[in-house]
Amino acid sequence: MATKPNETTVTRIALEGVGSDAEVARLRAALEALDDAPDVVVELLGAGRAQVAAMSCRPPDGAALRAALAGAGFTVTSVEETTETLATEAAAQAPAAQAAHDEAAHRRRA
């Protein structure tokens, strides 16, 4: 799946074997070692399970991602990849929207 310049690929990965901060650090290190390392958000679900959202401008190599996580001692139970244009566009527009909000708030106080 090729992405357009204003799109972000979000890969959601369900894992087992993640239950502590040390394991989260090991998970992050495994993903950060990949070429084109994604930005990672880890949500611990309890009972040694975690949900990971890996965000990147290009779709990751799914086999490399799975191998990196398995090599770090985790069991990948599912991988889902989506392309999100709206989130990327919102992030790009956020500074201008914040500036407009700040200016309006300043005028109300003046």
Task: Using the predicted structure, report yes or no on whether residue 104 has a pLDDT greater than 60.
Answer: yes
Structural domains in the chain?
8-85 (3.30.70.1340)
Looking at residue 23, its amino acid is E
Both tokens of 48, joined, read 């040694």
Type and span of the H or E element at 51: strand 49-56
Say if residues 9 and 1 touch (Cβ distance below 8 Å): yes
Q: How confident is the model at residue 1 (pLDDT cuts 50, 70, 90)?
A: very low
Query: What interhelical angle do 62-71 and 21-32 show, nearest 10?
Result: 140
Q: How many whole angstroms separate alpha carbon 35 and alpha carbon 15?
A: 21
For the question of whether the overall pTM of this predicted structure is more than 0.75, the answer is no
Each residue's pLDDT tens digit, 54-90: 888 878 888 899 999 999 999 999 998 888 776 666 6
